[in-house]
Structure 1
Amino acid sequence: MSEFTLFQRDDCHLCDLALDVLAQARLPELTSVWIDEDDGLEARYGARVPVLRRGDGAELDWPFDAEAVRAFAGADRSL
């Protein structure tokens, strides 16, 4: 499993924008999780998606830019 998870929805324009930002930030491989059919994830992330979660459980809510993603990923990590 990757160190980063992106919580998103199907047909989500903001989620598409977030994926573009993550590519710009050169984030290493990430796991995508769709919340649409999971009541627990829907309750937790509903209006917040897209949300980027780090392996340690910290979360970065949208909106974010490439600089914010790189900072979130950690300055000591090589992207």
Structure 2
Amino acid sequence: MTEKSWVLLEDNQFILYSRARCPLCDEAKVILEEVKRESGIGYKEIDIHSDDVLLEKFALMIPVIEWKEEIVQYGKADKSALNGLLQK
């Protein structure tokens, strides 16, 4: 399985790698929902426990936000920075 084979998404969508019982992940979801309401750009949430590769890769970094196949944030989500990405 290639690293990207578990997710096929539209280009104009954030990917949020998260897990259950993660307060920072919950905060990231709230921010991504705000961005979605304001910009129309949605997100897809993926639980890192659904794939051993993801778990190994992101276990200590979550939440991780990806945009156009690039990790753009991890740890604490920043709404201003996410909106800035949409301006590019």
Q: What is the TM-score of this pair, normalised by structure 2?
A: 0.72
Whether the aligned pair in 2 keeps the contact of 1:6 and 1:52 (CA below 8 Å) is yes
1:6 aligns with 2:19: no
Deviation readout 1:6-33 (Å, 9 max, x if unpaired) = 0000121111011111122335121110
- Of 36, 58, 65, the residue aligned with 2:78 is 65
Backbone CA RMSD of aligned residues:
1.6
Paired letter, 1:65: D
Equivalent-residue separation in structure 2 for 1:22 and 1:29 (angstroms): 7
Residue pairs, 1:47-62, within 5 angstroms: 47-55=60-68, 57-59=69-71, 60-62=73-75
Uncovered stretches (5+) of structure 2, i.e. residues with no partner = 1-8
Uncovered stretches (5+) of structure 1, i.e. residues with no partner = none
Deviation readout 1:24-79 (Å, 9 max, x if unpaired) = 23351211100114210011111101111112x1112121221011113x214xxx
Q: What is the TM-score of this pair, normalised by structure 1?
A: 0.79
- Of 32, 44, 48, the residue aligned with 1:31 is 44
Most deviating of 27-36 and 44-53: 27-36
Higher relative contact order (CA 8 A, sep 6+): 1
Give the ranges of 4+ consecutive aligned residues of structure 1 lying more than 6 Å apart after TM superposition: none
Equivalent-residue separation in structure 2 for 1:4 and 1:64 (angstroms): 12
Paired residues in the alignment total 74
